[in-house]
Amino acid sequence: MRKTIIITGASSGLGAEMARQFAAKGHDLGLCARRTERLESLKSEIEAAHPDVKVVLKALDVNDHDAVFSVFQDFRQTFGSLDRVIVNAGMGKGGSLGTGLFKHNKMTAETNFIAALAQCEAALEIFREQNHGHLVTIASISALRGMPRAMTTYAATKAALLNLTEGIRADMLRSGLPIAVSCILPGFIRSEINEKVKNTPFMCDTVPGVRSMVNAIDKEQAVAFVPGWPWRFIAFLMKRLPLKVVMKMG
């Protein structure tokens, strides 16, 4: 069992629900996010429901790359070792390129990829020293194809994260190190990032959607489309359908 789990972006949405569900399975948790007041509330909720679970909080803006390394090391010192790091922090601001929204597209690119790179680096430094660990990145079904409008930059960052994770997995296989690497590609799961999106087909409620993520993570699957139905089938189609059809999903 991967006893100690670090989750970034844990103050809301999928990150907060993953924390609840992993706590229910008996995992100790290191939770970090910018909004510490939400983390405090989440910690109180988890400790009330699962008094044997240890929950440690850290304030972290993942775009402060030096802080990423120091916070992860602090978690390691507190827990003694880190068994799993879930690179979950992300955002989805932006719009069609060339429409004056570069500031937001840039912010999404930096948060979803450069900051994720920093988190992967910081986690793998610790895992290499320990000679064990499980790195998990949270991408998106949109990583499979280019998407229009507000999804354009977001989908591109998730594609980059998917490929980064596969490259890390290849490196670990080549090195023979006992470090597992997983990339989770959620379909439409209700969270704060999409709470204003209405009438979306196949939208899954937060709790069952995250349950499918947690199960895939615990199985240490290399790549997982979640929930499995219908997203494995949709992923198969997305890779093969004409762009004019795929872009209607964006």
Catalytically annotated residues: 154
Radius of gyration in angstroms for the set of CA atoms belonging to the chain, rounded to a whole number: 17
Q: Which of 212, 151, 223, 153 is nearest to 181 (CA)?
A: 223
Q: Which of 184, 68, 198, 42 is nearest to 122 (CA)?
A: 68
Sheet holding 223-226, edge to edge: 55-59, 28-33, 4-8, 84-87, 133-138, 179-186, 223-226
φ, ψ of residue 244 to 5 degrees: the values are -60, -30
15 neighbors 8 (Cβ within 8 angstroms): yes
